Amino acid sequence: MSAPARSGGTDRTNRKKLAFGLVMLIGIGITTALGLWQLDRRDWKLALIARVTERVDRPPVPAPGPAEWPGVTAAGDEYRHVTMTGRFLNDRETLVQAVTALGGGFWVVTPFRTDQGFTVLVNRGFVPSDRRDPATRPAGQIEGDTRVAGLLRISEPGGGFLRDNDPAAGRWYSRDVAAIAKARDLAGSAPFFVDADAQPNDGGWPKGGMTVVQFRNSHLGYALTWFGLAAMLAAALAVILRGR
């Protein structure tokens, strides 16, 4: 009577070991994939750091015109120091939610009609929530011909902060150039935007020159952590297999 019971108990134990082993294999695959993803992110971050370091301190050049727009890319142009002359279209500014070293608030993104006839969205800088209304910063609303210098940035489509842009409600979480240009009825708008430099605005707002140009690169540490977890799971699986 006891022999069948032991056989059934052994089968159940073996099934549990098999199920646990399959879980270990899946875990090894996931943690290894995450480690490889972090290595890819590390390569991307190193390329970004090299690109920014090489470009931000160059003398400014004229912003690309329409003939050059098809060739503008992150790899080839982002963080180039550019300059433009023209006029701000202050009545069409857009506030984009921002979290900065100065706290939470908004980026003031204003169309800039260049002397060459095309339009570029300019992130004029940061304002806190109590300065979101242009009436609270009238001195900073530049009128007439002016010059803008800053860093060329690539559009941020879709949204940010895990929230989608809502043009109809006027809620923006990323600097989505195409969507903002459509919402503000801007024909001939460039496919990039410009982060204005730190040249002070009258009244102190908006505050420009806040582009992040220094980036943490912890991806190698994260990759080693994931690979370490994969090794621990592999060791646990080996113990299970030896036990069987």
pLDDT tens track for 193-233: 999 999 999 999 999 988 877 667 788 888 889 889 888 88
% of the chain exceeding 70 in pLDDT: 94
| Residues 153/176, Cβ–Cβ less than 8 Å | no
Mean pLDDT of the chain: 88
* Pick from 48, 82, 80: nearest CA to 63: 82
Question: For 41, how many CA atoms within 13 A lie in the half-sphere containing its CB?
Answer: 15
Tell me if residue 190 falls in helix, strand or coil: strand
B/e letters for 92-116, b = 16+ CB within 10 Å, e = fewer, are: bbbbbbbeeeeeebbbbbbbbbbee
* Pick from 116, 110, 113, 129: nearest CA to 201: 110
Instruction: Give the pLDDT score at 243.
Output: 65
98: pLDDT confidence band, cut at 50, 70 and 90?
very high
For residues 125 and 176, give the distance between their C-alpha atoms in angstroms, rounded to a whole number: 16
Does the pTM exceed 0.75? Answer: no
* Pick from 139, 134, 156: nearest CA to 90: 134
Instruction: Give the pLDDT score at 187.
Output: 85
46: pLDDT confidence band, cut at 50, 70 and 90?
confident
pLDDT tens digit sequence for 112-139: 999 999 999 999 999 999 999 999 999 9
For residues 213 and 156, give the distance between their C-alpha atoms in angstroms, rounded to a whole number: 17
